[in-house]
């Protein structure tokens, strides 16, 4: 999960909590410049456009890997 800088200047940061059944719930929360962690987290934040580019790159890489795996799998069954 990434820290995302929103267009309004706030940050969307990952947040985890323990659930009643002992699991872990993960979500995002928004923080503003008044939050003590804002400055530190803003240094690593991606814009929403940068995050979209990153996700698109992952999908492209995943597709190439899937094709490579299927070619290998097909060669194994010959």
Q: Is the pTM of this model over 0.85?
A: no
pLDDT tens sequence across 6-49: 999 999 999 998 888 989 998 999 999 999 999 999 999 999 99
Average pLDDT over residues 41-60: 92
pLDDT tens sequence across 14-24: 999 888 898 99
The DSSP H or E segment spanning 75 is helix 48-76
8 A C-beta contact, residue 29 and residue 15: yes
């Amino acid at each position: 999960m990434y820290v995302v800088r929103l267009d309004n200047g706030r940050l969307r940061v990952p947040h985890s909590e323990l659930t009643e059944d002992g699991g872990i719930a993960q979500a995002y929360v928004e923080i503003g410049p008044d939050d003590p962690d804002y400055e530190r987290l803003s240094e690593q934040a991606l814009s929403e456009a940068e995050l979209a580019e990153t996700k698109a790159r992952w999908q492209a890489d995943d597709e190439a890997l899937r094709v490579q795996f299927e070619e290998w799998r097909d060669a194994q069954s010959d």
